[in-house]
Amino acid sequence: MIYGYARVSTQDQNLDTQIEQLTKFGVDEVVKEKISGVSKQKQQLDELLSKITTGDTLVVTRMDRLGRNTVQLLQLVEQLRERNIHFVILNLGIDTRTPTGKFFLTVMAAFSELDREMIKEKQRSGIKLAKQKGKYRGRVKKYTDKHPGMNHAIELRNTTDKTVKEICAITKVSQAAFYRKLKEMEEKEGI
C-alpha cells in the first residue's frame, strides 16, 4: 500500500497542491493534516505510522512536511527503515525503493550524525574550559537532603515493607534517584 501524507501549518492554508502531486505519484490513500510542523504531536501522522506495515510506502511532497527538526525527521526515517517501510520525498527525488534513494538517505543520516557529534564535542570542550576556570558546577541535584519527597521515601523504606516502586509512586521520587540515595547511605554507613 502506498500512503501519501499532506500537511500544512494553518487551517487557512490549502492542501490541494500536495494532494495533486501525491495523487499523480500514485498513492492509494492520502492522509491530510493541518498542524504546525514544530508541533510534536501530529495525530493524523501518528495514526498513519501506527497502521503502516512492512512493504508499504510513505510518500511526502517535501521533507519538511513531516516536521521542521532534521534530527527527529532522520529518526523517523530510521524507524521506517527498521520496519521495512519505504519512503519517498518527491521534490528531492529520494525513493528508498531504489539503491540511489537509500544512498542519499544514508548520506543525510551521516551528516546528521556528524553534526550531533560536533555539537557534543563543543559541549565537552566548553565544560572542560568552565571546569578549568572553576565556573562549572554540574547539574543541580534535585533530591538534596532537604527534599521532603526523598526524606519521606527513606522513612517509608525504614518503617514499612513497601516495594521501591510503591514508595516512589507515593513520594513522586524517581526510582533511579531513590536507589542512588540508598547506595549513598549504605556507603556512608560502611565507612
Catalytically annotated residues: 9
Pick the closest to residue 3 from 92, 103, 101, 80 (CA basis). 80
Name the amino acid, one letter, at 145: D
Name the amino acid, one letter, at 80: L
Question: Are 49 and 23 within 8 A, CB to CB?
Answer: no
Angle between helices 70-82 and 99-132 (to 10 degrees): 130
Residues 6+ apart with CB under 8 A from 36: 9, 10
What sections of the chain are H helices per DSSP?
16-25, 43-51, 70-82, 99-132, 148-159, 164-171, 175-190
Reduced to 3 states, what is the DSSP secondary structure of residue 26? coil
